[in-house]
């Protein structure tokens, strides 16, 4: 029998209450990890994981929560910066508030999520950081200039951290999902959804579990020990 080597590893997932984050939490629990998930609300999350209320835009509270997780579960091995929001509009109609909100959660939020855990990772000489990017960050998307900028930005973060952290045996990678069936994509009008589906060679949106498996691969010290600074695209061949 082989395993991904995630048994008893302490792994933190932001936005883990629902959607893609929830699927990541569920899979990591199945793989034997000790999982903490952080979200604005944690009422409906996986009851085999530690749910903590947190806002990724607030670095001070993320630092306090990092201490709490370490006390309750032990030193963190893996961090998945998954929490994200959209405030879509055509570029000329995007307001300063739309820019700030998306940058605060999707870009600064990723930095705020990784930073509080990294010194301890360095000290234990092991760790894996995973950010959830997007097909929009990779190829752009009309109506999503603010969102795409943050999702391209997190690729810059993980590529830089990959170089910075390698000496401590800490890896940093991103997963770039295509269109995935979650509440985030439920707001897409049917006509637009049909048009997008027609562009996807698999002729369907992906499922949250498709992203969870890519994340588990990148977290695994067995499967991806020499993989860092990479972007794994999971998009049904929509953009390659």
Residues binding ligand NDP: number (CB under 6 A): 29
Binding flag, residue 56, ligand NDP (CB under 6 A): yes
Q: Which member of 49, 50, 105, 174 binds ligand NDP (CB under 6 A)?
A: 105
Q: Which member of 4, 14, 107, 146 binds ligand NDP (CB under 6 A)?
A: 14
- Which 8-state DSSP code applies to residue 221? T
Whole-angstrom Cα distance, residue 177 to residue 71?
A: 33
Whole-angstrom Cα distance, residue 11 to residue 116?
A: 13
Q: Which residue has the tokens 């707001």?
A: 187
Q: What residues contact residue 119 under an 8 Å CB cut-off, 6+ apart?
A: none
Q: Is 147 a catalytic residue?
A: yes
Least distance from C-beta 102 to ligand NDP, angstroms? Answer: 9
Element (H, E) at 231: strand 231-234
Phi, psi of 196 (to 5 degrees): -65, -45
Q: Which member of 37, 122, 147, 217 is catalytic?
A: 147
The DSSP line for 102-136 is HHIIIIIHHHHHHHHHHHHHHHHT-EEEEEE--HH
Instruction: Establish how many alpha carbons lie within 13 A of residue 36's alpha carbon, considering only the half-sphere containing its beta carbon.
Output: 26
Binding flag, residue 177, ligand NDP (CB under 6 A): yes
Q: Which member of 180, 212, 219, 232 binds ligand NDP (CB under 6 A)?
A: 180
Least distance from C-beta 8 to ligand NDP, angstroms? Answer: 25
Stretch that binds ligand NDP, among 63-71, 115-123, 181-189, 213-221 (CB under 6 A): 181-189
Binding flag, residue 173, ligand NDP (CB under 6 A): no
Binding flag, residue 185, ligand NDP (CB under 6 A): yes
Binding flag, residue 153, ligand NDP (CB under 6 A): no
Binding flag, residue 40, ligand NDP (CB under 6 A): yes
Phi, psi of 209 (to 5 degrees): -65, -30
Q: Which residues bind ligand NDP (CB under 6 A)?
A: 14-15, 17-21, 39-41, 54-57, 82-85, 105, 109, 132, 134, 177, 179-180, 182-185
Residues recognised as catalytic: 147
């Amino acid at each position: 029998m082989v395993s991904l080597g995630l048994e008893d590893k302490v792994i933190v997932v932001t936005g883990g209450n629902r959607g893609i984050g929830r699927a990541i939490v569920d899979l990591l629990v199945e793989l034997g990890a000790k999982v903490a998930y952080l979200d604005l609300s944690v009422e409906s999350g996986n009851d085999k994981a530690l749910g903590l209320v947190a806002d990724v835009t607030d670095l001070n509270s993320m630092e306090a929560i990092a201490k709490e997780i370490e006390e309750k579960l032990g030193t963190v091995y893996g961090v998945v910066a998954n929490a994200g929001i959209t405030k879509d509009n055509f570029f000329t109609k995007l307001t300063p508030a739309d820019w700030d909100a998306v940058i605060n959660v999707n870009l600064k939020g990723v930095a705020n999520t990784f930073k509080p855990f990294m010194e301890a990772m360095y000290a234990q000489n092991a760790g894996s950081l995973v950010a959830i990017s997007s097909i929009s960050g990779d190829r752009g998307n009309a109506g999503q200039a603010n969102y795409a900028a943050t999702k391209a930005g997190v690729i810059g973060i993980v590529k830089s951290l990959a170089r910075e952290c390698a000496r401590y045996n800490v890896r940093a990678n991103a997963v770039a999902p295509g269109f995935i069936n979650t509440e985030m994509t439920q707001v897409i009008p049917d006509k637009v959804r049909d048009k997008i589906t027609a562009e996807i060679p698999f002729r369907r949106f992906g499922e949250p579990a498709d992203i969870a498996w890519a994340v588990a691969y990148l977290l695994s010290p067995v499967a991806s020990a020499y993989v860092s600074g990479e972007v794994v695209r999971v998009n049904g061949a929509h953009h390659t």
